[in-house]
Amino acid sequence: MQTNLHIQADTLYRFIQIHPRLLVLTGAGVSLASGIPTYRDENGVWQRGTPLQHEDFIKKEAVRKRYWARSFVGWPSIAQAQPNAAHQALAKLEQFGVVEQLVTQNVDNLHQVAGHQQVVDLHGNLQRVVCLQCGNKTTRAEQQKRLTELNPQLASLQAEIRPDGDAALADDYFEYLQLPTCLVCEGVLMPDVVFFGGSVPVERVEACLTALEKADALLVIGSSLKVYSGYRFCVRAKAWEKPIILLNPGNTRADELAHLHIRADGGEVLTELVECFCSQPHGNCED
């Protein structure tokens, strides 16, 4: 007797037989099992504090101090996070030739750690730090080292971890924070990500649309699609008459556009999907 999980994976497997080239879009729900919190619940309802606005970071030193103090405490949780079953299954599906391009709204680098090769970080990547003046890039690990050297009083702090490497710290810790500057031009440093209200670089969006145009279908995993930067690909897929599959436990913004909505945990279904491919005569499931 088949379980509901088997039926869901088999449904997805049969869909892929007809639409063998997928563009996959992943959201925060994919990294939840790796210990990284999400901003919204499974139905897309906001459940965290007010997000940092892109323009505020650019214009206000106090906002930058607040961000880097909280990031200093929260960064180890991102740096030490490990890929979960969903990341690993997607990397395997890429090896099978099923996932031609993966676009992630996450900034945690876990798809790359899992071994996925073709990844577009739609909203950037926390592993990098960029100078707003000259564009020079360094690693987040180097930024952590410099923050520690300038602010040894922060080293022992602990706090509740929030999404994207943020941490809940009282305002008292921000005022006297010393911020590292660019080693090339002494400019302002920013994580190489797009904060709320910021714009995804045009060339990045165009690369994703080119990949979508070549794909047979769009598979969205672990995203409520509340943010337009990801939802736009569903709109375009619908306009191009490419079927959309949603793999998400709760409701999404694209429910009415979708060919199918599988309401389940992405990691479980994707792991079972890999087994569907492995069970075939020419399945290659060696680690």
49-98, pLDDT tens digit by residue? 677 899 999 999 999 999 998 898 889 889 999 999 999 999 999 999 99
Residue 231 CA to residue 227 CA, distance in Å, equals 6
**CATH code of the domain made up of 46-80+126-193:** 3.30.1600
Q: What is the mean pLDDT of each run of 10 residues along the chain (287 residues)?
A: 86 97 97 82 55 92 92 89 98 97 98 98 97 98 96 72 55 80 98 94 98 98 95 98 97 97 97 94 64
Cβ atoms of residues 159 and 167 within 8 Å: yes
Give catalytic residue positions.
123
- The helix-helix angle for 266-278 and 4-18 (nearest 10°) equals 60
| Three-state secondary-structure class, residue 282 | coil
Which residues are CB-neighbours of 193 under 8 A, at least 6 positions away?
A: 107, 123, 124, 125, 126, 164
**How much is the pLDDT for 142?**
98
Residue 148: count of CB within 10 angstroms of its CB: 12
**How much is the pLDDT for 48?**
52
For residue 99, which of 119, 76, 129 has the smallest C-alpha distance? 119
Cβ atoms of residues 120 and 104 within 8 Å: yes
Phi, psi at 154, each rounded to 5°: -85, -15
Whether 185 has a binding-site annotation, put simply, is: yes
**How much is the pLDDT for 1?**
47
**How much is the pLDDT for 124?**
97
Residue 258 CA to residue 89 CA, distance in Å, equals 23
Q: Please give the CATH superfamily to which domain 1-36+82-123+199-287 belongs.
A: TPP-binding domain (3.40.50.1220)
Domain boundaries, the chain: 1-36+82-123+199-287, 46-80+126-193
For residue 101, which of 204, 178, 191, 214 has the smallest C-alpha distance? 214
C-alpha R_g of the chain: 20
- How far from each other are the two terminal CA atoms of the chain, in whole angstroms? 29
Residue 174: count of CB within 10 angstroms of its CB: 17
Whether 131 has a binding-site annotation, put simply, is: yes
Residue 284 CA to residue 273 CA, distance in Å, equals 13
The beta-carbon contacts of 273-276 under 8 Å, at least 24 apart in sequence, are: 273/9, 273/12, 273/13, 273/89, 273/93, 274/89, 274/92, 274/93, 275/9, 276/9, 276/10, 276/13
- Please state the pTM of the whole predicted model: 0.91
Phi, psi at 48, each rounded to 5°: -120, 180
Residue 198 CA to residue 106 CA, distance in Å, equals 15
Residue 97 falls in which region: left (phi positive, over 0), alpha (psi -120 to 50) or beta: left
Residue 55 CA to residue 230 CA, distance in Å, equals 20
